[in-house]
Structure 1
Amino acid sequence: MIYHLTPKTDLEKLAAAAKEIPELNVPSSLSKENQNTFKSAFKDLSQSYKTRAEGIGKEEVTAKADQQFTAFNDKVNSIHKKLGLIEANFANEIQ
């Protein structure tokens, strides 16, 4: 997932969203292990957004943001797999 020529207003929205992600509620009906995995995944997603917003147009920074996003995606899908849910490709979902 590589973004090019992102308008400044979009970068500002991305940075603002990154601040809100760790505050997302995790269902208390999940096991503590799954709750912690979600919280860790949200931190990865938030960091990915921050990294992308700070380094737009810099290929090495974009690659790091992609790795952080992949970590988020993999952690959430590990929970989906445990719960018998279909795995998601969040890159496709948010584009």
Structure 2
Amino acid sequence: MPGAGAVTRAEPPRTGPADMVIAAVCEVLGVARADLDPRRSLRDLGLDSLMAVQLRKQLKTGCGVNITAGRLPGGESLERIVRDLTVAAEPV
């Protein structure tokens, strides 16, 4: 048990596949995680075609996830895209 004046450490940041995808989306869109509504499409969240290309590249290099840039600004919810990408990223 920490004594008086002891420093406690915060929980480490989440780093699972879904969190990495969400972090990439936040970075490309320039928004905080708390401002993302996962039920909305990336297009509705402000993603344009140039951002889709940037996000695709970031997902490939940072997360090892391959997705077509055309799928990102489609009508699918962010929640569904994240779920599909994280399932695809899981080892067999």
Establish whether TM, by shorter chain, passes 0.5. Answer: no
* TM-score w.r.t. length of structure 1: 0.31
* TM-score w.r.t. length of structure 2: 0.31
Larger radius of gyration: 2
Structure having the higher helix fraction is: 1
